[in-house]
């Protein structure tokens, strides 16, 4: 591993409130120094940054990685390629795989698979229930000891209120969060699109937006009752965000994230049964999209996650109602988020904060900063370089992007993991 100086960059570190031109010096895979006027240390390779933005490697709060049990859709290795191309150096992996991550050995295995890539730290979520079936709580203590960063059933909501109450209480004793897919299962079952005029016109079974708000309201009440910490994933509706905002004002341990489709696209993206835009939760009306964008700006939403869900062609080449929900998101996470900066909705520092230090803190990891002495996980990007998303041409195995054909500005130029260049 060679030492290097990345010179002439815009240093951006939300953890320190840093936004200034300068250089960064990396020695033995760690950040040795950063700032203006570092000079040119003898025997150190110099990489010209060309004035591009340098920030911490992105921390993706939620992604499905295919393994174990879904390697034909994605492997940890192929996901690592897509992540590196997107500037991501740490990913929290969902547990609703086959088999589910409900055994300590599987948690340790997924961590090790990440280390094998040399480019990606994988932080596994532990399954909240055995098999992620929502019936019997898994051995949370053993999963926590094995390295589970939080507990969830992934894309499956924890339906029974009593089970959620017990989970919040027990996880609280372990210092862990429960991550909920906020969708009432009885209202969402069999649905394919957001209930309303568009779904009716396309002849699609609808999911009411109330399904999200009802689950959020219930779990906020349970967090109040137990003192536990609940995190709502991919929040997508104005009504749910209002509830989260009030819970935060009350001082409850309630946090949430969203994903790029919910602030960049609305339900019209499904067009005439366009299955690449079939997601879970489904794309919403324009008023909800605007509410999500506003909640990013006012701090109601804590973090932005890729919500990466690899699906193969056979999953999507079906009638819309039967097609699998999910979209690839690793390679497009940064650029779609930057669209909010370009529109004036967010400052660049705030956008990067929601992609680095905030998800790192929520996951209990020390990554997501440019602090001296920390591993040099770095992302170098040009916020103005244009490119076009093209399904079939994305890095990695998963090509099922809802952003196919979308013109974006913001291109990753280089990614480093512990001082080793893994992209660019």
Q: What is the pLDDT of residues 322-378, one digit of tens each?
A: 999 999 999 999 999 999 999 999 999 999 999 999 999 999 999 999 999 999 999
> Is 66 exposed, middle or buried (CB count within 10 Å of its CB: 0-12, 13-18, 19+)?
buried
Please report, for residues 118, 152, 188, 224, the alpha-carbon distance to residue 221 in angstroms, rounded to integers and kept in the order given: 42, 18, 21, 5
CA–CA distance, 42 with 36 (Å, rounded to integer): 17
CA–CA distance, 193 with 189 (Å, rounded to integer): 11
pLDDT at 107 over 80: yes
Q: Specify the DSSP element, H or E, that contains 241.
A: helix 238-250
- Mean pLDDT, all residues of the chain: 97
Does residue 37 or residue 396 have the better pLDDT? Answer: 396
Does residue 293 or residue 1 have the better pLDDT? Answer: 293
Residue spans of the domains in the chain: they are 57-363
Q: What is the pLDDT of residues 3-29, one digit of tens each?
A: 999 999 999 999 999 999 999 999 999
What token pair was written down for 368? 């997501």
Please answer whether residues 9 and 49 qualify as being in contact, where contact means their C-beta atoms are separated by less than 8 angstroms.
yes
Topology of 57-363 in CATH?
TIM Barrel (3.20.20)
Helices (H) and strands (E) in the chain, counts: 14, 19
Nearest Cα residue to 12 out of 363, 376, 420, 356: 356
Assessment of whether the complete model's pTM goes beyond 0.85: yes
Q: What is the pLDDT of residues 378-393, one digit of tens each?
A: 999 999 999 999 999 9
pLDDT at 280 over 70: yes
CA–CA distance, 60 with 74 (Å, rounded to integer): 17
**pLDDT at residue 37, as a whole number:** 83
Among 34-43, 56-65, 269-278, 401-410, the minimum mean pLDDT is found in: 34-43
What token pair was written down for 311? 């699906």
**pLDDT at residue 324, as a whole number:** 97
Question: Is there a catalytic annotation at residue 307?
Answer: yes
Please report, for residues 57, 88, 264, 307, the alpha-carbon distance to residue 391 in angstroms, rounded to integers and kept in the order given: 24, 20, 17, 17
CA–CA distance, 169 with 176 (Å, rounded to integer): 10
Rg (CA), the chain: 21
pLDDT band at 1; cut points 50, 70, 90: low
CA–CA distance, 414 with 411 (Å, rounded to integer): 9
Please report, for residues 98, 153, 383, 424, the alpha-carbon distance to residue 52 in angstroms, rounded to integers and kept in the order given: 41, 39, 8, 13
Please answer whether residues 334 and 84 qualify as being in contact, where contact means their C-beta atoms are separated by less than 8 angstroms.
no
Alpha-carbon torsion 60, 129, 178, 123, what sign?
Answer: negative
Q: What is the pLDDT of residues 170-227, one digit of tens each?
A: 999 999 999 999 999 999 999 999 999 999 999 999 999 999 999 999 999 999 999 9
Neighbours of 1 (CB within 10 A): 11
CA–CA distance, 174 with 229 (Å, rounded to integer): 11
Strand partners, 22: 9
Catalytic residue among 102, 184, 219, 307: 307
**pLDDT at residue 271, as a whole number:** 93
**What number is the average pLDDT over the span 402-421?**
98
């Amino acid at each position: 591993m060679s030492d290097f100086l990345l010179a002439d960059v815009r240093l951006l570190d939300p953890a320190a409130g840093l936004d200034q031109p300068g250089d960064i010096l990396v020695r033995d895979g760690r950040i040795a120094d950063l700032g203006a006027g570092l000079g040119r240390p003898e025997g150190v390779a110099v990489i010209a940054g060309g004035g591009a933005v340098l920030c911490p490697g992105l921390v993706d709060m939620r992604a499905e990685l295919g393994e174990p049990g879904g390697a034909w859709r994605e492997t940890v290795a192929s996901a690592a390629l897509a992540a590196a191309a997107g500037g991501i150096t740490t990913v929290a992996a969902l547990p609703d795989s086959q088999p589910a991550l409900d055994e300590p050995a599987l948690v340790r295995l997924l961590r090790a698979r990440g280390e094998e890539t040399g480019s990606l730290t994988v932080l596994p979520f532990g399954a909240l229930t055995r098999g992620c079936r929502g019936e019997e709580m898994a051995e949370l203590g053993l999963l926590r000891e094995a390295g589970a960063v939080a507990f969830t059933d992934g894309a499956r909501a924890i339906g029974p209120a009593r089970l959620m109450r017990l989970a919040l209480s027990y996880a609280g004793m372990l210092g862990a969060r429960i991550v909920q897919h906020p969708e009432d299962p009885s209202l969402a079952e069999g649905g394919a699109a957001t209930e309303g005029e568009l779904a009716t016109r396309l002849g699609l079974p609808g999911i009411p937006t109330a399904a999200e708000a009802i689950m959020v309201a219930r779990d906020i009440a349970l967090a109040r009752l137990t003192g536990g910490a609940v995190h709502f994933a991919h929040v997508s509706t104005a009504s749910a965000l209002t509830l989260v905002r009030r819970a935060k004002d009350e001082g409850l341990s309630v946090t949430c994230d969203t994903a790029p489709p919910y602030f960049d696209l609305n339900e019209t993206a499904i067009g005439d049964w366009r299955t690449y835009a079939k997601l879970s939760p489904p794309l919403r009306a324009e008023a909800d999209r605007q509410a999500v964008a506003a909640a990013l700006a006012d701090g109601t939403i804590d973090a932005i996650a890729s919500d990466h869900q690899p699906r193969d062609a056979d999953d999507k080449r079906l009638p819309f109602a039967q097609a699998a929900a999910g979209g690839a998101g690793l390679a497009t996470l940064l650029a779609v988020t930057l669209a909010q900066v370009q529109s004036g909705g967010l400052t660049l520092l705030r956008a990067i904060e929601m992609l680095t230090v905030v998800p790192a803190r929520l996951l209990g990891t020390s990554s997501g900063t440019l602090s001296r002495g920390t591993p040099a996980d770095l992302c170098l990007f040009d916020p103005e370089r244009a490119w076009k998303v093209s399904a079939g041409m994305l890095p990695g195995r998963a090509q099922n992007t809802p952003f196919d054909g979308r013109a974006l500005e913001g291109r990753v130029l280089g990614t480093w993991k512990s001082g080793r260049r893994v992209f660019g």
